[in-house]
Structure 1
């Protein structure tokens, strides 16, 4: 499918799938988290893409909320030994973090493209 101007896909589904925010067909990522130079379908230059620490902050909030909530529930409901907490929550934290960092980074980049976000500049008179 060739890119048609004005036919951009919705940014959130495109970002979650790691697809190009302009055509929805090309891949956004070259590796697990490294962004490609250009889209292989529509030739969009990904030079604008700078998600910075945004995805990591959301991962910390989401995973932290889930893991801490579950750990507290387990502690108050069953009072297990410490090794149970270590055996459960360290792997769960790592797995959840790795599972959601890439989709969140894709969404951040797709939203940057959709809203034409640019680096802030101060204008002097």
Structure 2
């Protein structure tokens, strides 16, 4: 598929997230760099900046991956008692890599789900 050519059908949110596809037309135009969204789709014109993905995924990924890495580090410590430098050499790069790699997918998934469900900011209804 060409970078600017979409399929004409809305991709599933998981497909859009994995492949960096526009949630409207399926063109490979969602990202302008590894983690930064493009301003809009070059194929269909969907304005990606209108979506509010924010930094929410970073917090949950860091906490979730941090928990997993901490458990693995404790298991290694109890089983082999390696020196501290080996822990630092293993777990710091692994944590950073897992967060950065998974952040692209989760940001794209949130944007695709927001598009699919037509999610918008909440508003208070005032009865007068």
Question: Which residue does the alignment assign to 1:85?
Answer: 87
Q: Secondary structure at the match of 1:88?
A: helix
Deviation at 1:3, TM superposition (A): 5.7
Q: Secondary structure at the match of 1:67?
A: helix
Would the alpha carbon gap of residues 2 and 10 (structure 1) be closer, same or farther in structure 2, given more than 3 Å must change? Answer: closer
Question: Which residue does the alignment assign to 2:48?
Answer: 46
The answer as to 2:112 corresponding to 1:110 is: yes
Deviation at 1:77, TM superposition (A): 0.8
- 2:73, 2:125 → 1: CA distance? 50
> Considering only aligned residues, what root-mean-square deviation do their CA atoms show, in Å?
1.7
RCO (CA 8 Å, sep 6+): is it higher in 1 or 2?
1
Give the TM-score normalised by structure 1: 0.87
Question: Runs of at least 4 residues of structure 1 off by over 3 A?
Answer: 1-4
Deviation at 1:74, TM superposition (A): 0.3
What is the aligned length? 123
Question: Which residue does the alignment assign to 1:123?
Answer: 125
Would the alpha carbon gap of residues 53 and 2 (structure 1) be closer, same or farther in structure 2, given more than 3 Å must change? Answer: closer
Deviation at 1:107, TM superposition (A): 0.5
2:7 and 2:25 in contact (8 A); partners too = yes
Gaps of 5+ in 1: none
Gaps of 5+ in 2: none
Question: Which residue does the alignment assign to 2:34?
Answer: 32
Deviation at 1:2, TM superposition (A): 5.4
Give the TM-score normalised by structure 2: 0.86
Q: Secondary structure at the match of 1:8?
A: coil
